[in-house]
Amino acid sequence: MLKEIRAALLFGLAVWVYQATNPPPPKICGTPGGPPITAPRIKLRDGRYLAYKEHGVSRETAKYKIIYVHGFASMRHNTMSVAKLSVEVVEELGLHLVSFDRPGYGESDPHPKRTPESIALDIEELADHLEFGSRFYVMGFSMGGQVIWGCLKYIPHRLAGATLIAPVVNYWWPGFPANLSTEAYYLQLPQDQWTLRVAHHAPWLTYWWNTQKWFPASAVAARKPEVFSRQDLEILSMVTDGRMNRPQTMQQGKFETLHRDMMVGFGKWEFDPMDLKNPFPNNEGSVHLWHGDEDQMVPVSLQRYIAQRLPWIKYHEISGSGHMFPYIPEICEAMIKAPLLEKK
């Protein structure tokens, strides 16, 4: 009898371990039972598809071409306040901006082997498909801002300029002094501390941690009010694009979107951004980093340290702002213009 009980317990444990470490497969767009394809897409070298959206003047008449990288739990339709730029500003600049669904989001195929390098190469391939020329601008917000570090590392020769907007930091980047990153890490809510611990130290449990019901998981993923500043909450009450597109954002599943972001963003990187060299030693371009001094999600102390370590970055700190300041039209316009107009 004891043998049977022990066998049943072991079997139950094995089933639990399997379910905890094996998320359901994604519902890939365009496949039987998967969501429909509504966006233009390119086929990448490895066979995956990448969905994108074009904004501004035509590619043929554009003076400046920008690829925009969306943040966590977002998609190609979420472009800060770009849609609110006046026609006069867009035409005066000759601006053509392309946003795309990062792998797994929206209508882009998932990439189970996604890395900071792979997403940078996806961006390069997208630019080549759209015939952006030898150099183009990149701009990313939040988790998309973190992606720009990969562009600076792996495709610096293709960049005309780069803008990191409230970029997510990895607390385990070795360039941070231990006391500084530890202090910043503990500014997060305890449930977010645990979420990132799991993503970094035990990534195979990321799916389980974010779906189990015993302990609270990511407050950021749940968009708890506690992770936003007062200004953020005011902005969110007026912003509709994220809420309108949210079902489509993760229609292929949460594992290859939210959970993959956690594992890549807070996992072990092959490089430390603080070891990067200036990609524009002859001032033929520039790198800008914008951050709010009241950001509750990404501690400003870490961005200040990065700006100190990399003096070639033009650092802009927005007083009284949290994480969502790019949705303020005037600031969005200033961020877009900064790397473009300084060449004049």
Distance of CA 7 to the CA centre of its chain: 45
SS (H, E, C) 175-221: CCCHHHHHHHHCCCCHHHHHHHHHHHHCHHHHHHHHHCCCCCCCCCC
The number of helix segments (H) and strand segments (E) in the chain equals 12, 8
Q: Is the pLDDT of residue 175 over 80?
A: yes
Each residue's pLDDT tens digit, 316-335: 999 999 999 999 999 999 99
The values of phi and psi at residue 97, to 5°, are: -120, 135
Cβ burial 257-290 (10 Å sphere, 16+ → b, else e):
bbbbbbbbbbbebeebbeebebbeeeeebbbbbb
* 93-101 mean pLDDT: 97
Average pLDDT, the chain: 92
Q: Is the pLDDT of residue 195 over 80?
A: yes
Tell me whether residue 125 is exposed, middle or buried, using C-beta atoms within 10 angstroms of its C-beta: 0 to 12, 13 to 18, 19 or more: middle
Q: Is the pLDDT of residue 182 over 80?
A: yes
Q: Is the pLDDT of residue 16 over 70?
A: no
What residues contact residue 46 under an 8 Å CB cut-off, 6+ apart?
none
CB 67 within 8 A of CB 17: no
Q: CA distances (Å), 48 to each of 88, 108, 315, in order?
A: 37, 8, 36
Each residue's pLDDT tens digit, 250-290: 999 999 999 999 999 999 999 999 999 999 999 999 999 99
* 147-176 mean pLDDT: 98
The per-residue pLDDT for 273 is 98
The per-residue pLDDT for 6 is 59
Q: Is the pLDDT of residue 240 over 80?
A: no
The per-residue pLDDT for 76 is 95
pLDDT band at 342 (very low <50, low <70, confident <90, very high): confident
In angstroms, the CA 263 to CA 207 distance is: 10
Report pTM: 0.93
CB-CB neighbours of 231 under 10 Å: 18
The per-residue pLDDT for 344 is 53
Each residue's pLDDT tens digit, 198-223: 999 999 999 999 999 999 999 999 99
In angstroms, the CA 223 to CA 267 distance is: 22
Q: What percent of the chain has pLDDT over 90?
A: 85
Each residue's pLDDT tens digit, 17-71: 555 668 899 999 999 999 999 999 999 999 999 999 999 999 999 999 999 999 9
In angstroms, the CA 300 to CA 140 distance is: 17
Amino acid residing at 51: A
Q: Is the pLDDT of residue 10 over 80?
A: no
